[in-house]
A and B are shown apart, each in its own frame.
Chain A
């Protein structure tokens, strides 16, 4: 098979492949930098918890509107925000730490969501909600995903500086009167909307894949926050392309194929990334003079 047959024709010949590609590119642009900040703030598992928290809201939307875009997206957004606020409140008001209270609420949310959807729909609906169907992304979903990516990039540009300082030295930011709290709240909202966007394409279980895997890999490629964000986007784009082509040629499920490609990038970065990777650790080259 020719190079164009392998890499270009699937997208040239099929509109659904083009839409899927654009959706994944938009997701990569927004979600991957968000993932970088989750990692810098040592909140890597929070994305996972919140993506599950989307489910009951999306399920309520499903019960009332079927598999349609707006009810499920708005419901999912509301449910994830509710879980985030509730967990935060429980952590502040009681002895339970934030990660523990998150774990509690997201498990409740996941169970509730699966229950609602299986009660009111079939196994196909459940599969759709859990794993998404990026190949079935329609024009409206695409617009929503692209709008969220745009919003994310603009918002990140606005809160970039306080967000970085909040990761590094929150006490300093507070002492100089910087808007650390506001930046944190906005950032959490961005995490949730990006998971809602990811939910459209990749489903509740896979949505975090494009957010966290490229972000975790980025550390092995760049030595600045800006560099990590850029590297994560590039890695996410490559994983999207690779995953879609893989799923097309081998007739694999597209969402998991994309996430697995991101996973392959992650393993590769750990092993052989240019910075602090396993390769660098065990084969550092001869030491320098100074």
Chain B
């Protein structure tokens, strides 16, 4: 019973594919690491799963799942932390689906936000302006927001880049908890040791799929070598792709 199915998915920028003819399943309740060299299309894939970009070809099929049940944490660079908001305000945004534009925050919602903050180790930080948090603390706050979203599918794009070891360990525990709660988690990562230790499934991507399956097999030396060898280059004179659509 697949939750998210990819059929010959091609995602392109200006016709150049960032993800090329990718086919496979994210099973319900699976915990998958997406790894690969720079420019391999990992972030692009996550954006497509979140429904933020449209496929150039092929499709993403959701079964027993609506877009609303997918939560997505983009790379930190895309957030403007100079906007004067408090930690509690940011975390409470996790209630967006329930409160929308006009809905007020009741006591239960605020209580839930406080609990989420405590769970990520930020108890007592409610009133702090987000601009004063360290990178690690801010990432913890975003994870708390994600907890409130209570999503069936959770997409994390390089959540531990430039984050200290202690925070990474704490947040990985949270990821493990989401896995235990049978949520489907897809995370873009760079640290192969981390992936081998904690992620049962791995998608090794180098624009095209190199391997997708149990982590030990996917990250075999042969596959890693193959991923490294695959061209990263953007060819200005690339020909039109003739491969049949799925």
Instruction: Please determine whether B84 and A223 come into contact, CB atoms closer than 8 angstroms.
Output: yes
Q: Taking A175-B71, A176-B149 as contacts, is the C-beta distance between A225 and B84 under 8 angstroms?
A: yes
Q: Does B192 contact A (CB under 8 A)?
A: no
Instruction: Please determine whether B83 and A225 come into contact, CB atoms closer than 8 angstroms.
Output: yes
Instruction: Please determine whether A176 and B78 come into contact, CB atoms closer than 8 angstroms.
Output: no
Q: Which of chain A's residues has its CB closest to B70's CB?
A: A175
Q: Does B245 contact A (CB under 8 A)?
A: no
The total number of A-B Cβ pairs within 8 Å is 64
Residues of B contacting A164 in the complex (Cβ-Cβ under 8 angstroms)? 83, 85
Least Cβ–Cβ distance between A268 and chain B, in angstroms = 20
Residues of B contacting A225 in the complex (Cβ-Cβ under 8 angstroms)? 83-85
Q: A210-235 CB contact bits vs B (8 Å, 1 = yes)? A: 00000000000011110110000000
Q: Does B93 contact A (CB under 8 A)?
A: yes
Q: List 12 A-B contacts (CB under 8 A).
A: A161-B101, A168-B80, A168-B83, A169-B79, A170-B78, A171-B72, A172-B74, A175-B51, A175-B70, A176-B96, A177-B97, A227-B84
Q: What is the total number of residues of chain B having a CB less than 8 Å from a CB of chain A? A: 27
Q: A136-166 CB contact bits vs B (8 Å, 1 = yes)? A: 0000000000000000000000110110110
Q: Which of B52, B86, B101 is the one whose CB lies under 8 Å from A175? A: B52
Residues of B contacting A158 in the complex (Cβ-Cβ under 8 angstroms)? 101
Q: Does B68 contact A (CB under 8 A)?
A: yes
Instruction: Please determine whether B101 and A171 come into contact, CB atoms closer than 8 angstroms.
Output: no
Q: Does B120 contact A (CB under 8 A)?
A: no
Instruction: Please determine whether B97 and A167 come into contact, CB atoms closer than 8 angstroms.
Output: no
Instruction: Please determine whether A178 and B52 come into contact, CB atoms closer than 8 angstroms.
Output: no
Q: Taking A175-B52, A176-B97, A177-B67 as contacts, is the C-beta distance between A167 and B83 under 8 angstroms?
A: yes
CA A225 to CA B90, docked complex, whole Å: 13
Q: Does A274 contact B (CB under 8 A)?
A: no
Q: Which of chain A's residues has its CB closest to B96's CB?
A: A176
Q: Residue among B52, B70, B74 with the most chain A CB within 10 A?
A: B74
Instruction: Please determine whether B93 and A224 come into contact, CB atoms closer than 8 angstroms.
Output: no
Q: Does B129 contact A (CB under 8 A)?
A: yes
Residues of B contacting A40 in the complex (Cβ-Cβ under 8 angstroms)? 82-83
Q: Taking A165-B93, A171-B74 as contacts, is the C-beta distance between A177 and B84 under 8 angstroms?
A: no
CA A165 to CA B72, docked complex, whole Å: 15
Residues of B contacting A281 in the complex (Cβ-Cβ under 8 angstroms)? none
Least Cβ–Cβ distance between B103 and chain A, in angstroms = 9
Q: Does A181 contact B (CB under 8 A)?
A: no
CA A172 to CA B141, docked complex, whole Å: 14
Q: B134-155 CB contact bits vs A (8 Å, 1 = yes)? A: 0000000000010001000000
Q: Does A92 contact B (CB under 8 A)?
A: no
Least Cβ–Cβ distance between B105 and chain A, in angstroms = 11
Q: Which of B72, B85, B102, B145 is the one whose CB lies under 8 Å from A224? A: B85
CA A175 to CA B71, docked complex, whole Å: 7
Residues of B contacting A172 in the complex (Cβ-Cβ under 8 angstroms)? 72, 74, 79, 93, 145
Q: Taking A171-B78, A175-B71 as contacts, is the C-beta distance between A224 and B86 under 8 angstroms?
A: yes
Residues of B contacting A161 in the complex (Cβ-Cβ under 8 angstroms)? 101-102
Q: Does B175 contact A (CB under 8 A)?
A: no
Residues of A contacting B52 in the complex (Cβ-Cβ under 8 angstroms)? 171, 174-175
Residues of B contacting A42 in the complex (Cβ-Cβ under 8 angstroms)? 80
Residues of B contacting A222 in the complex (Cβ-Cβ under 8 angstroms)? 84
Q: Taking A168-B90, A223-B129 as contacts, is the C-beta distance between A228 and B96 under 8 angstroms?
A: no
Q: Does B189 contact A (CB under 8 A)?
A: no
Q: Which of chain A's residues has its CB closest to B132's CB?
A: A223
Residues of A contacting B40 in the complex (Cβ-Cβ under 8 angstroms)? none
Q: Which of chain A's residues has its CB closest to B67's CB?
A: A177
Least Cβ–Cβ distance between B185 and chain A, in angstroms = 16
